Amino acid sequence: MHFTSERRIDDDVLERAFVVGDVPGFLWTLATTSTPVPLVLLGHPGGLRSMHPRLAARARALASLGFAAATIELPGAGERPASAASDRARVELRRALASGERPSEEVIDRLVLPLVDQAVPEWQTTLDELLDLPEIGGPVGFSGGVIAIGVRLAVMEPRIVAAGFFAGSFVPRSIIEEAHRVTIPLHVLLQWDDEGNDRQLALDLFDAFGSEEKTLNANMGGHTGVPQHAGENANEFFARHLR
């Protein structure tokens, strides 16, 4: 891990850009931290540059709870090399949605599963590096989407002790099978009227999680319209589980 730049985004929050191998990312910490703090990995749909304002806002809210936050670019997104196969699958998925059809499971698999297979080891390597920093202690949470990546991480990565998922992307059936093996506390945000999402699939996924403690928090407002109170509620979840 190499830090490539740093700046204050608030009086008390330090934002550092880094690369792990050829994967760029950001780390946000309280500038005044003296003891190692818990860490939340921020999932997102890809495209760090356009996602940055929302990610930084989430990191700020977590910093106010005393937590560090970090994210990395997704495979094939932003300035990382594109995947022709993924781009084809994305075009097919959008075409299905535009014509009012449910995308086929085959297209969802082709779009999401290679992304999960590539992204999860990258998150794990990044986590190794982050936990080596003296200012990061743990425990570790995962917050956001792509939910299929979050599910695989929750299954594979014992250092993640709580996850707040955003159910806002299509989920392969095989990931719903994997969800039975998730046992950590979960907080799942669902936008009930999200047109680019399959609500029933999200409910099936929530049902499948093996966790004894799981909360579904569903709201109106469309894909990007998560109400402020729902965001605060998700942060309260992390406050309960990472402190």
- Would you state the structure tokens that stand for residue 143, as one six-digit string? 């917050």
User: Using the rule CB under 8 A, which residue among 80, 83, 215, 222 binds a second copy?
Assistant: 215
Of the pair 21, 210, the CB lying nearest a second copy is at 210
- State the nearest-atom distance from the C-beta of 174 to a second copy, in Å: 23
Site string for a second copy, 216-235 (x = CB under 8 A): xxxxx------x-xx--x--
User: Using the rule CB under 8 A, which residue among 28, 67, 170, 237 binds a second copy?
Assistant: 237
- Would you state the structure tokens that stand for residue 231, as one six-digit string? 């965001």
Is there binding between residue 124 and a second copy (CB under 8 A)? no
Is there binding between residue 207 and a second copy (CB under 8 A)? yes
Of the pair 170, 237, the CB lying nearest a second copy is at 237
- State the nearest-atom distance from the C-beta of 222 to a second copy, in Å: 12
Quick check: 55 and 44 in contact, CB under 8 A?
A: yes
- Applying CB under 8 A, what is the total number of residues that bind a second copy? 21
Distance CA 172, CA 158 (A): 23
Choices 17-25, 103-111, 118-126, 205-213; region in contact with a second copy by CB under 8 A: 205-213
Q: Count the alpha carbons within 13 Å of 136 in the hemisphere toward its beta carbon.
A: 21
Is there binding between residue 213 and a second copy (CB under 8 A)? yes
Cα–Cα distances in angstroms (integers) from residue 55 to residues 37, 58, 86, 147, in the given order: 19, 5, 24, 16
Residues in touch with a second copy (CB under 8 A): 192, 203, 206-207, 211-220, 227, 229-230, 233, 236-237, 240
